[in-house]
Each structure stands twice: as structure tokens, then as C-alpha cells.
Structure 1
Amino acid sequence: MSLTSSSLSRRTFLQNSSQLVAGTLLPTIESAQASTGLVAADPLRVALIGCNNMGWADLTSMLKHPAVQCVGLCDVDQNVLNRRAAELQKNNAAAGAAPKLTLYTDFRKLLDNREIDAVIVGTPDHWHCLPAVMACQAGKDVYVEKPLANSIEECNLMVAAAKKHNRIVQVGQWQRSGSHWKAAIDYVRSGKLGTVRLVKTWAYMPYGKKFPVVADEPVPAGVDYAAWLGPAPERPFNKSRFHGSFRYFWDYAGGLMTDWGAHMIDMALWGMNVTTPVSVMAAGGRFGFPDHAGETPDTLQVLFDYGQFTIQWEQAIGIGRGPYGREHGVAFIGNLGTLVTDRDGWELLPEIDGGQYLTPAMPLQRRYTNDLDRHTLNFVECVRSRQQPNAPAEVGRHVAVNAQLGNMAYRLGRKLHWDEQTQTVRNDLEANKLVRAQYRKPWALPIV
């Protein structure tokens, strides 16, 4: 098949633009290693598994980068699939590009397509592990939404699959690519705060004030509900457990703890250069809206003990006025001052002794980049260079272990002692059942 002059012009444009973006935001990439066969001039062909909400946001962001093409969409809801396909084709037409787009309702058939270089996994949490591991086994790189998985056992399998198959796996913890976040972390690690004894992390979300219990109902037309449930327990269809609000049910996710906690606690781990805690305690409940649908708590406090300091997590649904006047954030509290940061920027609150600041004051440091776009760009460039991305599977695994242990301590109502070497909770059979994934047949955990 011959190339038209317009397609040649577009290829030239993509090559030049790719070099420009790489040169201004990341180190220039000359070529990919033999494990992908890609060179910098080749288009990166991606496909999306799970086309709603963040999956679509991730794809939209990734397509902003030159030479990235979407060649496949997969969703078990035909309504979502058709809507996203129409949006994508409209955008392609406006951009003057129309790569062949194949639609799938079974992600396994998508993974069989050898023309796909990388996949985005934007499914509900309970569906992260299987597609990601199978994509690695199929030789494809993976951008997977956070939290990495819905159990510690699944997280460990995903890390192992990435290593065994030499795949680039980027977890959607996009603060890791944010310039102001890195500047804040560098300040924390500089020692200018003195001894940091406590790190506070939180998410006070004003949404969720209305979430009424509704009756079960027939499965909507176009939805393969058995496939949506997948390895989760079999239950009647209920719209409260479906799109978006799935995250407030233990079968599929872990509430705010694994949603926003996967972002904010990750920043605490990064700043303090740690991975998993010694012990975890939790208290909370459905205090604000006890009659709402959902199982996860609307109010929760978790304390992670790291030996020489603690990390604290707080969450509240239906309240937007959080600590330090921020609905979400991280506060590194040291002897000389406190550094507070969120997605808008960071600021320094010096301690005062005898009328003198113990660490120099500075103005508010505001965000000045689109962190999600930087994160997807980092993934694209790492696919080509074969360098590790900013949020590899191990990073996703560490924060997921913290978040899962926090939820487990809440659900069991007791302090848990984590043994990182054995990957178990010490002397607690009931807790270790929650460490493991419970899959409904015919689905089974992948073998890595």
C-alpha cells in the first residue's frame, strides 16, 4: 500500500513534533531497545481497556503526545464503547488522522492483536490485575489506573509480571510526574524542616452527600454484567454498585482510602523514602451518612507506624474543608517547619522561636504544569527508551499495601503488624485472608 503525500506530511510532522516534545520535557530518545522493535519515528499504537471516567481521561491525555495513535477500545458496556468510539473518530477527523479503530468487548481478544504496542487499563479496581498481567505476557507495555489492584496478592503478581516480561508499567499516580510535587519532595528531603516526625495525608471530598439505597433491577441493555463482575462475587445488578460508585463497595474497590489515598499517601512515602509500615491502626465508620448506599466508611482515620515517624490518613465524604484549608493534601511536619502541598501548589509554614523563623519563609509555590499530561508523556517516552517510568509497578504496589492494610485494620477493628519479608500480617489468619485475592470461578489468578 502506497503512502499519499498527506500521510507523508503527517508522518514528518509527527517525527518533528515528537523530537520537540521530548527535547523540551524529557531527555531525547534516540531509539527503543529490541524488546519492542519501536524506533522514535514509529507511531505508538495504544488501546484502552475500560473506556469510562479515568480510562478515557488517560487516553485523551496520551493522545496529546505526537505519534501516539489509538487503535483499539474495549468495554463490557456497549453504550460506553459506542459513545467513546464516536468521540474518538470525531477527534481524529478534526485532527486529519484516522487510524483503523477496532472495538472489543473482551479484553483477551484485544491482547491478541499484535499491532497494539501498549494498553491503558482503566477498569474498576477489581479488574486491574488480570488485563495488566496478561498484557505483560502478550509483550505489551501497560499504563494502569491506581490503585494498582484490589488486593496485596494481586499487586505482587503485577510487579512480578512486569519484571519477568521486561515490560514498562506506569501506574496512574500522576503526582510522581508533577514539577511542583517534586520540588516539594526535594525540600522535604533537604533537611530544612528538621526532623520530620509526622506526615498527615487527607482527602475531604464535598461530593457524596446524596447516595440513596436503590433496589436491584434488570441489567441494562448492552451491558455484559457477568463480564463486568468478572472475578468478583456474583450479585444482582444494582446501579449503585456500577459505573463510578463501584468504588464504595469492598467487592470492587476500597473507597476513598484506595482512591485519593493512593495519591496522597504515595507522596508521603516518596517524601520519607519508605515503602511499607511496621503496623497499622484505624478507626472510623459511616458517621456522616449512615443510611447511604455503599460499604466503605465516609469517615476514617488511619495511623501507619514507620518506627521513627508516623503517617496519618484522614478521609471524609460530604465535607470539603480539610486540614490547612485544603480538601486534599499532604503535610510534612518537622521540628523547624511544616510543608503543606496539594495539586495546586505547596507552601512552607515555619516554626517560630523567640520571634524568629526556624526555617526561611517563602511564598506559595504554585503548580505550573499539567501533571497528568506529563505522566502519560513519561510513559510514552519510557516505552521507547525502556527506562523505568516515574511510577512503576513497585511504586503502585507500595502505596496499595498501605491503603489495603488501612482498610483491613478498619474492617477487622484491630491493630495489624505487617511483615514485609513474608508478605503477611503477623499472627492473624483473618487478616491474611484479606491479603489474598478471592476470585470467583471460572476466573483465576494469573500464574506469573
Structure 2
Amino acid sequence: MNRRHFLRNTLFTGVGTGIAAAVPMEVLAAIRKQVSPSDVIRIGLIGCKGQGWNNITSLLRMSEVQCIALCDIDQNILSQRKADLEKINIRPTLYTDYRKLLANKDIDAVVIATPDHWHCLIMTDAIAAGKDIFQEKPVANSIYEAQQMLAAANRSNRIVQVAQWQRSQQHFQDAIAFVHSGKLGKVTSAKAWMYRGGTTPLPVVPNEPTPAGVDYNMWLGPAEKRPFNKNRFHYEFRWFWDYAGGLMTDWGVHLIDMVLMGMKADVPKSVTASGGKYVFPTDARETPDVMTALYDYGDFQMTWEQNLSTGVGLYGMQHGIAFIGHNGTLLLNRSGWEVRPDKEKDKPLMEAVAWQAQSDKGLDKHTTNFIEAVKSRKKERLNCPIEAGVRVAVNSHMGNIAYRTGETIFWDAAANKFAQKEAEHLRIPDYHNGWKLPKI
């Protein structure tokens, strides 16, 4: 790999999953200051293990933020996070049922960082409880749920920021502004991709007793009742349709979101997808390890590509977005962006833009943006309002639905449904175990 390719891929290799690690407690202890009780914003965290912990420690960089409650179905994680927060003199109340946390009237806002299949229920309940929300992506595990969440938010005065934190990073904003400038010429094609090299098989393992301290029935919630299996628990849940949408809704929502921003697009007219479990055909995952989806928006097309077998992706970039215009191509990822001119008779049609490296921390800027909006009560200040999160979630689920049905699917925007029966069935989830699908 040459130096140019190394720089384009450095950020991902440095952070593993592409998101900055949680802020260490000793750093928080050094930067947090005393603030007036009237200025304190009291937050509850729902889902404390991975990304939820990253989110709350980023929020705690701001001295006016206080974490007064933690909720998780795993007592082991709750105990660990409680001990962590006590190092900076924060002593939260602990919950294993999010509904009891939402009933705490001292809480101003919540961070929702559970598995995807819980997002809709918890967010709509949080809206009803009068809480502001920092909502982990993807917004929901289905198109119908995402639309119900949007309806709930629009009927309230609550501040809802979706954790698509790339929108707060300067280099992403600069790149999208360049696309909007028109310098690329007419853009008729865009690409987004993630080539997740280094992934290993998820071995098939037998079901086993639920680990001590875990409320597994609460973890399942509205998902189908199944015996406990560690492959479906914690981080690995994302590879099973009951709870998530694989790489498409893990990375796709971040990258496709940039395409929708750059092209000022909403929903496609049609989507076609193909792929399968080609890399690890016998491992435990349900979601595809190789997939290509083609979206037709009427005046441009987009392709999404995912592959778990190699880290060498399109244009020498392991993950990224490409806007392909008549005059040149803009390439963008979490490390930076550049423009490569097209040529006619060896003459460049535009000026090249050299690599513009990432220079800030997207999550920290995103949580700061959320708190600023909470203070001002101005939704328009949000870098990723609920509308944006829903838009890209709908697009991502359409790609998965096209793959799962094996059909080209067509969206009827006026009727808000698919033309195909099987696709329409996947638009609306089934809820189980006594939980009711929200209908706003």
C-alpha cells in the first residue's frame, strides 16, 4: 500500500469500528468543572456497553451534563459503568427496565444505544415521557418503525439528534459543499462502499443458559422468542435480521447518508440487490457478507457495495463515497476527501483538489451540537435531526429488502408502500412477547 492509500485508510485502522473510543475517566476528571445547578442537563443512558458508553463519555466532556441514570439488561455492565462513573464523582441510579428510567422526572434527556430492534419502542416512549433524545443509528430496524418515530417526534417539541456524527465533521461538510457548488458538473452516479477486511467467521455455537445477571426476556423485547445464544448477544446482534440489518445498517447508514446529502435526494424509485454469504458461507451470520445494491432516483443512480473478505475497496479506499460528475470525481471517507479531474484530450476539465485530511472528532462535535440545541430549544440547529436519520434508514432498509426478496422493488411514494407483496411484508415488522408495535 503506498503512502497515499495509507493516509486514506489510516482513520479506520486506528479505531477498529470507525468511531473514537470512550473518553477515559481521568481525562473527564481533569476537564469537568463545577456548574450552577440551574445549568445542569440531566441525562439517562439506555444501553451502556459499547456505543452508548462512547456517547455518554463524549457528552460528559461538557461540565453542564450530568449522567444521573443508567439502564441495561446486563447487571454486569451496569456494575462496571457505575464504578467507572464513580471515579468522577457521578453516582447514577441504576435500572434494568427503561420504562422506569423514563418515569424519573429528574431526567431531561436520554441516550438510546440499544440493539436496533428496540429503538422504536424506546424512542416513542421517551417522546411521550417528555425527554430530549440522542438516538443511536440506525433510527429503526424497519421502514414502518422509522416513520412512526418521525411522526412521534414531529408531534412533540422534543429535541432529537440521530448519532450520524459524520454530519458534524468539518471535512464531510466541506466535501458536501463542494458537491453542491456544481464544480463537478452534472453528477449522474454516486457510490458508497465498505470493504471490511480482517473480519473473521462467527462460529456456529449451541444455545446455552442465559448468563447470570442478564434479563434475556427484556433483551429480546419485541423480537421473536428464541433460546439464548451468545452469537446473537451484545455486538454480534447486528448480523441477525431479528435485531438489525448487517453491514448495510451498521456502516451503510453513515455512508449513504452522505450521498443523500450531496445529491439532495429522498427515496429511490426502485432498488435492485444481489449478494449472499460468499465469504463465510457456513458461519452463524444471517446477513450477507457480500452485497451490491443499485438505487434509481430518477435523475441519478447510486450503488452500495459491502464485502467482508478484503480491506481493499473502490479507488483504493477501504470505505468511502464517490460523487461521479462530468468534470471529475469527489472521493470522501472518514480520513478526508479529494477531487480527481476527468480529462478530454488529456486536458483536465477542472482543478484537482489535493487530499483534505480529517481534522476533528465527529462524535464530540455531534454531542456538543445536541446540547446546544437542547439549550436553545431550536430543532433547526441540529446537524442530524430525526428527518435525516429516518431518510437514510429507509434507504438502507430498502437495499436489504431488495436483497431478501430477490426482486427489483418499486416504491409508491403516494401510497407509502411497495408495489411487491413480499417487500411490503418486510416493511412492517411483527412484534412478539406482548409488546405492541407503535402506531402514531
Calculate the TM-score normalised by the size of structure 2.
Answer: 0.90
For 1:23, the equivalent position in structure 2 comes to none
For 1:317 and 1:47, the matched residues in 2 are separated by 35
Q: 1:3-18 residue pairs with structure 2 within 5 A?
A: 14=35
For 2:427, the equivalent position in structure 1 comes to 435
Counterpart check, 1:402 vs 2:395:
yes
What secondary structure does 2:133 align onto? Answer: strand
Deviation at 1:421, TM superposition (A): 2.5
For 1:170 and 1:420, the matched residues in 2 are separated by 25
Deviation at 1:12, TM superposition (A): 7.9
Counterpart check, 1:353 vs 2:350:
no
Deviation at 1:199, TM superposition (A): 0.5
Q: 1:361-380 residue pairs with structure 2 within 5 A?
A: 361-380=352-371
Letter in 1 for 2:434: P
Q: 1:69-218 residue pairs with structure 2 within 5 A?
A: 69-90=66-87, 92-93=88-89, 98=90, 100-218=91-209
Letter in 2 for 1:80: I
What secondary structure does 1:260 align onto? Answer: helix
For 2:46, the equivalent position in structure 1 comes to 49
For 2:56, the equivalent position in structure 1 comes to 59
What secondary structure does 1:321 align onto? Answer: coil
- For the 8 Å contact 2:223–2:432, the answer to whether it is kept is yes
Extract unaligned runs of 5+ from structure 2.
1-30
Identical columns (%)? 51
What secondary structure does 2:320 align onto? Answer: strand
For 1:126 and 1:318, the matched residues in 2 are separated by 27
For 1:225, the equivalent position in structure 2 comes to 216
1:424 aligns with one of 417, 426, 430: 417
For 1:286 and 1:335, the matched residues in 2 are separated by 36
What secondary structure does 1:301 align onto? Answer: strand
For 2:308, the equivalent position in structure 1 comes to 317
For 2:73 and 2:340, the matched residues in 1 are separated by 49
For 1:281 and 1:224, the matched residues in 2 are separated by 39
What secondary structure does 1:197 align onto? Answer: strand
Deviation at 1:135, TM superposition (A): 0.6
For 1:182 and 1:322, the matched residues in 2 are separated by 23
Letter in 1 for 2:430: Q
Counterpart check, 1:304 vs 2:282:
no
Letter in 2 for 1:62: L
- For the 8 Å contact 2:108–2:132, the answer to whether it is kept is yes
For 2:245 and 2:121, the matched residues in 1 are separated by 18
Deviation at 1:233, TM superposition (A): 0.1
Letter in 2 for 1:424: K
Deviations 1:20-68 (A, max 9, x none): xxxxxxxxxxxxxxxxxxx9x6111111000111111111111112311
For 1:315 and 1:14, the matched residues in 2 are separated by 46
For 1:186 and 1:120, the matched residues in 2 are separated by 30
Counterpart check, 1:335 vs 2:326:
yes
- For the 8 Å contact 2:295–2:301, the answer to whether it is kept is yes
For 1:179 and 1:210, the matched residues in 2 are separated by 36
Letter in 2 for 1:398: R
Deviation at 1:287, TM superposition (A): 0.4
Aligned residues: 408
* Moved >2 Å (runs of 4+): 10-15
Counterpart check, 1:384 vs 2:375:
yes
For 1:278 and 1:359, the matched residues in 2 are separated by 32
Deviations 1:122-181 (A, max 9, x none): 000001111111111111001111100001111011111111121111111111111100
Deviation at 1:355, TM superposition (A): 2.5
Deviation at 1:354, TM superposition (A): 2.4
Letter in 2 for 1:177: S
Taking a change above 3 Å as real, the CA distance of residues 159 and 101 of structure 1, as seen in their structure-2 partners, is same
Deviation at 1:441, TM superposition (A): 3.1
For 1:316 and 1:159, the matched residues in 2 are separated by 31
For 1:330 and 1:109, the matched residues in 2 are separated by 42
Deviations 1:265-313 (A, max 9, x none): 0000000001110000000000011011110000000001001110110
Taking a change above 3 Å as real, the CA distance of residues 13 and 118 of structure 1, as seen in their structure-2 partners, is same
2:281 aligns with one of 257, 279, 290: 290
For 1:409 and 1:102, the matched residues in 2 are separated by 44
Taking a change above 3 Å as real, the CA distance of residues 208 and 190 of structure 1, as seen in their structure-2 partners, is same
What secondary structure does 1:244 align onto? Answer: helix
Extract unaligned runs of 5+ from structure 1.
1-9, 16-38
Calculate the TM-score normalised by the size of structure 1.
Answer: 0.89
Counterpart check, 1:259 vs 2:256:
no
What secondary structure does 1:314 align onto? Answer: strand
What secondary structure does 2:39 align onto? Answer: coil
For 2:19, the equivalent position in structure 1 comes to none
Deviation at 1:13, TM superposition (A): 5.2
What secondary structure does 2:126 align onto? Answer: helix
Letter in 1 for 2:288: P
Deviation at 1:84, TM superposition (A): 1.1
